[in-house]
Structure 1
């Protein structure tokens, strides 16, 4: 058995083929970088058509290498919160708003939820610029052509390839419009969003499976009869890929962005556990919820520092970081991209303080990295209060995979908890594959922090390729 796993991330789109044990088939990885448009006004968008082209190129590359032969299912993990307005032909009327876009504001006089706490407990979200309840009216007011319907990036992209593409329960939970208990669109959230009949995607049922359209089946004949499973939100998939699928383990994932999350079994219709006011909650699938906090900073801190601070490279950078104590470097607020919900700090809120003429670029980077560790530690304490016990922490994602210093800094900051590392750089895609194949708890066991710290560490990437988190 082979599984084609797709990762529809923010900085790249990737396709990889996994064997029956969940390991990457040699050479079976195709990747296309995506250009994320960002501006000081809070813009954070992708071009949907270019994204679709990137995915098609990945599939073409895998097909040309013969890697699609023997594939028996397709699993997908995809970014949460994205939205794009579509016309009657299903074509984008503008760019895709990603989780990083902070421009949406409520219309003057818009009242918001009648009971903000009840709304939060029901949907797991807030009336916030990250969610469709605020984004749809804002988008509609800025779209010249009438909007026929709205979709997330994954529904638009896969909808162009498959016979049908409903929205998975996992992706729907990231819109902020889903009642997490009933697994149906929430009436009040839809009213806030100004939703009209037919504008929202249909919701996929538990047993939904997709098939390629005939023209695409001819292009990739090895996938002609293969079932496509409902996509899983990237953060939830990363938890599964990290082996964090119950209340004993929390995942801290650092990819382009970062998050701390905990999965709990909650079947559809069952009462939801109480949700602290500063945490969000989404759905992994019909039987599990994931609770946590997310940050707009992560591997993108590397990208900024590498571009602006003239950092050394590879082993030289690793050696320079090793000379910085974990509590050293300047005090830093790493929110260069602003707050994720429920925070409202705009893009450009990052700060560095305590800098002297002797402060190095490496120390500035270390301060930003430690700043993220501190944010995670605060929210992890709140997350633990929902389960009344200290949890083990598993680090994952491309950014911590590339930086032994950051792994050790997290371990020091989160002590006395046990902190381990999941070295698989493709934990999101792996997690989606495990969920699709019914092997929810079969991820490779994480390893101790010290055991995988190489004597000759890899080059720290300018941006983390995987594990983008929500």
Structure 2
């Protein structure tokens, strides 16, 4: 049995075919870059039509190459927190607000939740511009056409392809509107958002699966009878794909952005454990939650510095980085070029550099930025460790980690004395979504291959490292 895994990311759309153990089939990968419109005043948006077109192109490419012939399941990893307004026919009334967009503000006179601590524990997030309770009123105030309902990017895109596309509890947990225990829309959060349940996506029940619409089944006949599973939030999927599925192992993932997360079992209906005020908590599915912290900077730091500082190409750049101390050397930085992710409120443009001299090189500036992110992650990992009783090991993952040996070593330095390993497979989100769809989350630690940071050793399974 093969699995088609889709990754609906911020910087790209990817489709890849996996085997029955969720390992990528050689050559069965299609990718399209997407353009995020980032403005000086905090905007960070995507064009929904262009995004859908990129996904369709990926499916066309895989079909033309014969990779969809033996697919029996479609799994989806999708970016959390996105939202777009729709008209009564389901057509977009504007661009998609991504997690990068920092413009939303509370409406005048709206002071937020009555008990912020209880609210945070219940929904896993905060009264913050990154969540729908602030984003929906802000969108209403700026939309010239009445808004009929709201959707996330995943629900909009899949809604164009499938017979139905309800919102998974994983995606709903990233809106800041879901009660994580009851798995229903939270009454107080909805009141703060000024939204009625009919204006929100339908929540997918346990066991839901979708099918292609007839016109798309004709376009991709190999997928005509294939079940599509509910989307999994990208952070949750990355944890599973990294093999970090219990309290012994934390995932540090660096793709476009970065995050540190811990996953554990918490079936729907069970009491929610305490949640440190610095951390968020979202749903993987009806059985598991993921707790952590996220950052607006990650691989985008590397991309920005390489472009704006005119750094050398990869091999020469890696050699130059190898000469810089792993703590970043003389340059210290604030890497928040895109502002804060929740719960912080620093606006876009908050990045900064110190320790520059006439001898400072562009490579040293890049190293200072990367090392500063390592230290931010280390601080939040300490908070995350306070929620468990056993020592942790850390698994590094994501495309940016796979691309930079220096950054991996810098993370190992910042996170010491914890054991640090690396999941070299860049498609951890898609793999994790497939394992969730298969109901094999507990097996992820055994299936995920990780490498020791000393890259002269052979890969070992992460389950064998603990």
Scaled by the length of structure 1, what TM-score is found?
0.95
Aligned-residue offset at 1:452: 6.2
Partner of 1:175: 175
Measure the CA separation in 1 of the matches of 2:265 and 2:20: 26
Name 1:459's counterpart in structure 2.
none
**1:317-332 alignment, distance < 5 Å:** 317-327=317-327, 328-332=329-333
Match of 1:416 in 2: 417
Distance 2:311 2:29 in 1: 29
The CA deviation string for residues 368-423 of structure 1, in whole angstroms up to 9 with x for no partner, is 00000000000000000011332110000000100000000000110000000000
1:444 maps to which residue?
448
1:105–1:17 Cα change, 3 Å: same
Aligned CA distance change for structure 1 residues 152 and 453 (closer, same or farther; 3 Å): farther
Give, in angstroms, the shift of residue 21 of structure 1: 3.0
Name the residue aligned to 1:431. 432
Q: Map 1:55-454; keep pairs closer than 5 Å.
A: 55-327=55-327, 328-440=329-441, 441-442=443-444, 443-451=447-455
1:445 positional shift: 2.8
What is the distance in 2 between the residues matched to 1:164 and 1:62? 23
Larger deviation: 317-326 or 387-396?
Answer: 387-396
Q: Could you list the per-position Cα deviations for residues 30-68 of structure 1 after superposition, in whole angstroms to 9, with x for gaps in the alignment?
A: 111100000110000000010001101110111111110
What is the alpha-carbon distance in structure 1 between the residues aligned to residue 289 and residue 247 of structure 2?
Answer: 11
Q: For 2:310 and 2:325, how far apart are their aligned partners in 1?
A: 21
Asked if 2 retains the 8 angstrom alpha-carbon contact of 1:404 and 1:453, the reply is: no
1:411-460 alpha-carbon deviations (Å, 9 max, x no partner): 01100000000001000001001111122123323110112699xxxxxx
The question of whether the paired residues in 1 share the 8 Å contact of 2:451 and 2:457 is answered with: no
* Whole-angstrom distance in 2 between the partners of 1:6 and 1:326: 35
Instruction: Tell me the SS of whatever aligns to 2:198.
Output: coil
Question: Which TM-score applies when normalising by structure 2?
Answer: 0.96
Shift in Å, 1:196: 2.4
Q: CA deviation at 1:335?
A: 0.3
Q: Secondary structure at the match of 1:160?
A: helix
CA contact (8 A) 1:209 1:230 kept: yes
Partner of 2:29: 29
Structure 2 Cα separation of the partners of residues 261 and 238 of structure 1: 9
Task: Using the TM superposition, give the Cα deviation of residue 111 of structure 1 relative to its aligned residue in structure 2, in angstroms.
Answer: 1.8
Number of positions where the alignment pairs a residue of Structure 1 with one of Structure 2:
454
Q: Hey, what's the Cα distance between the residues in 2 that align with 1:342 and 1:298?
A: 18
The separation in 2 between residues aligned to 1:197 and 1:98, in whole angstroms, is 22
Is 1:2–1:70's contact at 8 Å kept on the other side of the alignment? yes
Counterpart CA distance in 2 for 1:390 and 1:101 is 36
Tell me, in whole angstroms, the C-alpha distance in 2 between the residues paired with 1:19 and 1:340.
Answer: 35
CA distances 1:54-100 after superposition (whole Å, capped 9, x unpaired): 10111011111111001000000000000000011111000000000
The answer for unaligned runs of 5 or more in structure 2 is: 459-466
Between the aligned partners of 1:29 and 1:197, the Cα distance in structure 2 is 38
Q: Is the 8 A contact 1:128 1:134 kept in 2?
A: yes
Tell whether the 8 Å contact from 2:421 to 2:453 is kept in structure 1 after alignment: yes
Q: Which range moved further: 438-447 or 66-75?
A: 438-447
- Which runs of 4 or more aligned residues in structure 1 lie more than 4 Å from their structure 2 counterparts after TM superposition? none
Matched residue SS, 1:210: coil
Give per-residue Cα distances to partners, 1:351-372, cap 9 Å, x unaligned: 1001000000000000000000
How much does 1:197 deviate?
Answer: 4.3
327-336 vs 283-292, greater mean Cα deviation: 327-336
Aligned with 2:113: secondary structure? coil
The 8 Å contact of residues 329 and 364 in structure 1, kept in 2 or not, is answered as no
Match of 1:462? none
Conserved? CA contact 1:329–1:366, under 8 Å: no
CA offset digits 1:214-238 (Å, max 9, x no partner): 1100110000000000100000000
* Counterpart secondary structure, 2:252: strand
